[in-house]
Amino acid sequence: MILTMKYYPLFRKILPLLFITAVIAIGCKEKTEYKTIDGFTQGTTYHIVYSNDVDFVPDSLTESLLKMVDFSMSGYNPESIISQVNNGDSVKVDIMFADVFNRSVEMYRISEGLFDVSAAPLFDIWGFGFKNKATVNQQIIDSVMQFVGMDKVALEGTKIIKKSPGVKLNFNAIAQGYTADVIGRAFDNLGIKNYLIEIGGEIFCKGVNPKGKSWSVGIDKPLEGNMIQGHEIQDILLLSGGGLATSGNYRKFYEENGEKYSHTINPKTGYPVRDNLLSATVIAADAMTADAYGTYFMVAGLEKSIEVIEKTPGIEGYLIYSKDGKLEVYMSKGIKTKQ
Return per-residue pLDDT of the chain as tens, 339 residues: 333 434 444 344 444 433 433 443 344 445 579 999 999 987 788 999 999 988 888 999 999 999 999 999 998 899 999 999 999 998 999 999 999 999 999 999 999 999 999 999 998 888 876 666 667 889 999 999 999 999 999 999 999 999 999 999 999 999 999 999 999 999 999 999 999 999 999 999 999 999 999 999 999 888 665 445 556 789 999 999 999 999 986 544 444 555 555 568 999 999 988 888 999 999 999 999 999 999 999 999 999 999 999 999 999 999 999 998 899 999 999 999 986
Distance CA 242, CA 144 (A): 37
Q: Are 201 and 225 in contact (CB under 8 A)?
A: no
CA distances from 183 to 175, 193, 241 (A): 12, 13, 14
CA distances from 320 to 14, 96, 162 (A): 42, 32, 38
The amino acid occupying position 292 is A
Report the relative pairing of strands 215-220 and 233-239 from DSSP bridges.
antiparallel
Fold of 1-239: T-fold (3.10.520)
Longest Cα–Cα distance of the chain, Å, equals: 67
Residue 134 is predicted with a pLDDT of 66
Residue 132 is predicted with a pLDDT of 62
The amino acid occupying position 258 is G
Q: What residues contact residue 139 under an 8 Å CB cut-off, 6+ apart? A: none
Residue 339 is predicted with a pLDDT of 66
Q: What residues contact residue 53 under an 8 Å CB cut-off, 6+ apart? A: 28, 29, 32, 191, 192, 193, 194
Q: How many CB atoms sit inside 10 A of residue 101's CB?
A: 23
Q: Are 67 and 79 in contact (CB under 8 A)?
A: no
DSSP code, position 269: T
pTM of the model: 0.86
Backbone dihedral region for residue 289 (phi beyond 0: left; psi -120 to 50: alpha; all else: beta): alpha
Letter string b/e over residues 200-222, b meaning 16 or more CB atoms within 10 A of that residue's CB: bbbbbbbbbbeeeebbebbbbbb
Q: What are phi and psi of 248, to 5 degrees?
A: -160, 165
Q: How many CB atoms sit inside 10 A of residue 164's CB?
A: 11
Q: Domain limits of the chain?
A: 1-239
